Structure 1
Amino acid sequence: MSVILYAIIIVILSVELIMGSLGNIFIVLVNIKNWVKRRTISTVDQILMALAISRFAFLCTIVTNVLVYVLLPFPIKTKNLIKITSIHWTITNHFSIWLATCLSIFYFLKIANFSNFVFLYLKWRVKKVVLVMLLGSFLPLFLNIFVINRCIDVWIDGHEDNMSYSVISSNSTQFSNLLITNTIFILIPFSVSLITFLLLIFSLWRHLKNMHHNAKGSRDVSSKAHIKTLQSVIIFLLLYAAFFLSILLQFWNDDFQQKYLIILFLRGIAIAFPSGHSYVLILGNTHLRQASFSVLWWLRCRLKDVECLGP
């Protein structure tokens, strides 16, 4: 039975990695095509393209880490190799989270309605706000990398005289501390996205209250924009929360660490974040959604071996 479950989970992980990679590559290709065609690219498309690239790199990092920590013999795992894989995971995961947060901030400033002077100031300079926020994220990134390097040095140098790299690599307590330290830094953009979500709800509530006696049509236009953005932020927060909890659970209990099926299942939940969120972005963007429908129609025609005249 365990062999069957193992095979099923491996298939699910493989499908998630493949679908996630295809979804992010699709976002990049569509935006590049529109960029070449129009000779210009909007701010939201820039964020989407950068986010897709970071997500694809993050998925590649996951595959690399599996190859390094599962397939390679323990003696081959040197300190530099452990540092490279850890830092690569940190960087790709960092931009995957922060770019998604920047996207949430962008939609929030574009759609929300507040009369506060600070909000209006930020709304008028939304591009600069996104840029400053992204540049500001480099500070926690550098701090995170510094802490990880120190943890790895203490972890390995403190034991290399008396312990083999095999024992070091299996030291779950030290690795848990390293991973939790990494994840704590990523809670910052999650908190920002959560605040954005709450402010969007408040903005929608105020809008519905102020427009209660106005025309229904004008109310629905803004309401739909609020609801559409809220749906996107909700899905992002849920996927990220599942990603964060799945990582913590992998190292929360020693019993979990000894049950490889549970670890694989939790990793499948974690991979759903960078893989599944790309399709949420595709369906939530008009150009990407239309392009995806065109591709699906073309594939349908090819499978039926008929001429495609357009959907």
Structure 2
Amino acid sequence: MSGEANSTLMIIAVGEFSVGILGNVFIGLINFMDWIKKKKKIASIDLILTSLAVSRICLLCVILLDYFILVLYPDIYATGKEMRIIDFFWTLTNHVNVWFATCLSIFYFFKIANFCHPFFLWMKWRIDRAIPGILLVCSALSVIISLPVTENLNDDFRLCVKTKVKRNLTLRCRENKTQYASIKVLLNLLTLFPFSVSLVSFLLLILSLWGHIKQMQLNATGYRDPSTDAHVGAVKAVVSFLLLFIVYSLSFLVATSSYFIPETELAVVIGELVALIYPSSHSFILILGNNKLRQASRRVLGKVAHVLKRRNF
């Protein structure tokens, strides 16, 4: 890549990172200030959104760090230790992020959907008390899932794979490459489970919304009411996560291709730029879909506009 193209892509990466940090810090800061101000137990939805925001801040930092190292200091990846450490934190933040987003989908489902099944009603009543424990379990599970990446930290098989000089790979290099590739594929496939749970929650929310609208038609009460608006808002939040995560997962696979296929730096750079979109943009969708965060953002934007107007910008 030319120096000009490198600089342009780096500016895009920093821009995406800055936007993502701004949105996620805003979510965490507003919820934290509200918790301090009210001096009472933090609401479950605020706890989930804050946890999700923190996990996405970490994910953004890991992706940007990996991007800078790949572009500016590619020799750091000459040994397996540095590569595996970064891969561990990317895998960890990736899984934590997906699990927390799934918790949000589950929370929306139990709080908003309307079903008469006894188990659903029991969970609907207990979901607020269960959320802190669920988040802790998801965090611990993500750590356990990520640990295999740190095995054999000092393996230098990537040097064998990425070398520009044609030479015969040793048996050890081939074995390490196959083993590490299998671990990476397996860890990526494990995200399909929480993704599937979110997908099921989305489908059940759609079913609940459809039943609610039919009930309103029978009662001749119209189409819009607070329950309908809550259903629609939850569906938007979940479907945006599903679509963005699909794009993110594909870009993640592209970004990991450099570990196994030489001469793929440009594809990896593009993959990481696309991967930054998911943790950066979904936070703003959540802000627009949450009444408290939406009102807070309007106040902040109003103050910023007032300050800029006074300074004649």
| TM-score w.r.t. length of structure 1 | 0.84
Who is 1:239 aligned against?
Answer: 244
CA contact (8 A) 1:101 1:193 kept: yes
Who is 1:290 aligned against?
Answer: 295
Q: Report whether the alignment pairs 1:275 with 2:275.
A: no
1:221 deviates by 2.6
Deviation per CA, 1:147-191, whole angstroms, max 9, x where unpaired?
Answer: 3234x55xx64xx5xx7x633566896565443333222222111
Write the mapping of 1:77-96 to structure 2, written as runs, cut at 5 A: 79-96=80-97
1:208 deviates by 1.6
The 2-side partners of 1:140 and 1:56 are apart by 19
1:96 deviates by 1.4
The 2-side partners of 1:7 and 1:80 are apart by 28
SS where residue 108 of structure 2 aligns? Answer: helix
Single out whichever of 139-148 and 59-68 deviates more from structure 2: 139-148
Who is 2:62 aligned against?
Answer: 61
CA contact (8 A) 2:85 2:150 kept: no
SS where residue 217 of structure 2 aligns? Answer: coil
The 2-side partners of 1:23 and 1:67 are apart by 22
Single out whichever of 250-259 and 202-211 deviates more from structure 2: 250-259
CA contact (8 A) 1:197 1:230 kept: yes
Say which of 184, 191, 194 aligns to 2:196: 191
The 2-side partners of 1:229 and 1:75 are apart by 43
Who is 1:167 aligned against?
Answer: 160
The 2-side partners of 1:211 and 1:101 are apart by 29
The 2-side partners of 1:95 and 1:76 are apart by 25
Write the mapping of 1:13-24 to structure 2, written as runs, cut at 5 A: 13-24=13-24
SS where residue 225 of structure 2 aligns? Answer: helix
Q: Match of 1:167, as an amino acid?
A: C
The 1-side partners of 2:49 and 2:229 are apart by 21
Q: Match of 2:21, as an amino acid?
A: S
Who is 2:10 aligned against?
Answer: 10
Say which of 218, 224, 230 aligns to 1:213: 218
The 2-side partners of 1:82 and 1:180 are apart by 16
Deviation per CA, 1:114-151, whole angstroms, max 9, x where unpaired?
Answer: 0011111110111244344334435642442233234x
CA contact (8 A) 1:256 1:262 kept: no
SS where residue 218 of structure 2 aligns? Answer: coil
Who is 2:108 aligned against?
Answer: 107
The 2-side partners of 1:4 and 1:177 are apart by 36
SS where residue 188 of structure 2 aligns? Answer: helix
The 1-side partners of 2:131 and 2:297 are apart by 27
SS where residue 216 of structure 1 aligns? Answer: coil
Deviation per CA, 1:16-50, whole angstroms, max 9, x where unpaired?
Answer: 10100111111111111111111122111111111
The 1-side partners of 2:222 and 2:249 are apart by 40
Structure 2, unpaired ranges of 5+: 164-172
1:210 deviates by 2.3
CA contact (8 A) 1:250 1:257 kept: no
Give the count of matched residue pairs.
299
Single out whichever of 61-70 and 242-251 deviates more from structure 2: 61-70
Q: Match of 2:9, as an amino acid?
A: I
> Residue 67 and residue 177 in structure 1: after superposition, are their counterparts in 2 closer, same or farther (change >3 A)?
farther
The 1-side partners of 2:24 and 2:143 are apart by 26
SS where residue 219 of structure 2 aligns? Answer: coil
CA contact (8 A) 1:176 1:251 kept: no
Structure 1, unpaired ranges of 5+: none
CA contact (8 A) 1:17 1:275 kept: yes
1:215 deviates by 4.0
Who is 1:117 aligned against?
Answer: 118
SS where residue 115 of structure 1 aligns? Answer: coil
Deviation per CA, 1:213-233, whole angstroms, max 9, x where unpaired?
Answer: 214258533222111110111
Q: Report whether the alignment pairs 1:51 with 2:44.
A: no
The 2-side partners of 1:50 and 1:136 are apart by 13
CA contact (8 A) 1:58 1:93 kept: yes
| TM-score w.r.t. length of structure 2 | 0.83
Q: Match of 1:293, as an amino acid?
A: R
Say which of 251, 263, 266 aligns to 1:261: 266
